[in-house]
Amino acid sequence: MHRYIIKRILMMIPVLLAVSFVVYFLMDLAPGDIISSMAPQDATEAEIEMMREELGLNGTLMERYFRYMKGLIKGDLGMSLSLKRPVAECFFQRFPATLKLAFASIIVTLLISIPLGIAAATHHRSVLDGVSMVTALLGVSMPAFWLGLLLILALSLKLKLFPSGGSGGIEYIILPALTLGAGNAGHMTRITRSSMLDVIRQDYLRTARAKGVSEKQVIRKHALKNALIPIINVFGTTFGNSLGGAVAIETVFAWPGVGRLTVSAINNRDMTLATGCIIMFTIFMNVTMLLVDIAYAYADPRIKAQYSN
């Protein structure tokens, strides 16, 4: 298993390099210049150039990129040009809110997808199965920001059940968590149904039924336990999607997380802050996928045996 973990960690390195370079390249193409907006109106070209040098923004794109990566290796994400604070401090101040939203959306996803997927599989080719799959298809195909706006119109502005945005008590997280979790629930429902259909047709479940085990026990203790292996794998992707999808949802609901901070940094052309947030997002998503892959490897004896030899 140690070989498997080391291999997965090494695979993160080219991903981080590629993400950081793409972000730097795209930010360099964007119009505008944050240094010019920061400098006094009567500043000369020499003074502006001196500001660039002090902030590490002088030189070519590749020079700036390698200078940034050198600092990143040392754990320095740089200084936010728009907020005048260290990027790491800005990120970790906002990250708990994003993490809270991601976990809340995962709870919504599991509460919807697992029962719906099991019901669809145990009532295969029935009306319930059809309704479940149509519901899952709607969840997959519906844009999250559009669903968020609909929920705001219906549950906040019309019925006044929940606040339309901001942060505070538990009532503030319900609409964004429901918006983010509903989209992920569609995909996980289909995976749960497919995995359960593969398992409930196995011979050992027929044997359990022949021995008089009740259908509820067959499904809960035997079928679901063995159907969890592919669901665990999808769970990691779903959690990663929740972190990444939080960017749009945080903007729609004015949620004070990293996604909203990243959008603000891009709008302000704060390259250091935007790059730092995206790289940290990438690191956390890769760590999440690594933990899920390790759990998957322990759950699947075939992977464990492959790396034990």
pLDDT in tens, 185-243: 888 888 888 888 888 777 777 777 777 777 677 777 667 777 777 777 677 777 777 77
CB within 8 Å of 80: residues ≥ 6 apart: 86, 87, 90, 265, 270, 272, 273, 276
Considering the entire predicted model, what is its pTM?
Answer: 0.79
pLDDT in tens, 31-82: 666 666 666 766 777 777 777 777 666 777 788 888 888 888 888 888 887 8
Judging by beta carbons within 10 Å of its beta carbon (0-12, 13-18, 19+), is residue 192 exposed, middle or buried? Answer: buried
DSSP the chain: -HHHHHHHHHHHHHHHHHHHHHHHHHHHHSS--HHHHHS-TT--HHHHHHHHHHHT--S-HHHHHHHHHHHHHTT---B-TTT-SBHHHHHHHHHHHHHHHHHHHHHHHHHHHHHHHHHHHHTTTSHHHHHHHHHHHHHHHS-HHHHHHHHIIIIIIIS--S-SS--SSTHHHHHHHHHHHHHHHHHHHHHHHHHHHHHHTSHHHHHHHHTT--HHHIIIIIIHHHHHHHHHHHHHHHHHHHHHHHHHHHHHTT--SHHHHHHHHHHTT-HHHHHHHHHHHHHHHHHHHHHHHHHHHHH-HHHHHHTT-
Q: Which CATH number fits domain 98-256: 1.20.120.1200, 1.10.3720.10, 3.40.50.620, 3.40.50.2300?
A: 1.10.3720.10
182 close to 112: Cβ distance less than 8 angstroms = yes
Annotated domain spans of the chain: 2-73, 98-256
The residue among 173 and 61 whose pLDDT is bigger is: 173
Angle at 286 between CA 274 and CA 17, to 5 degrees: 55
pLDDT of residue 283: 81
24 close to 57: Cβ distance less than 8 angstroms = no
- Give CA–CA dist 56/267, Å, rounded: 20
Closest CA to 196 of 265, 97, 104, 115: 115
Average pLDDT of span 119-138 = 85
pLDDT above 80: residue 29: no
159 close to 151: Cβ distance less than 8 angstroms = no
242 close to 199: Cβ distance less than 8 angstroms = no
pLDDT of residue 300: 61
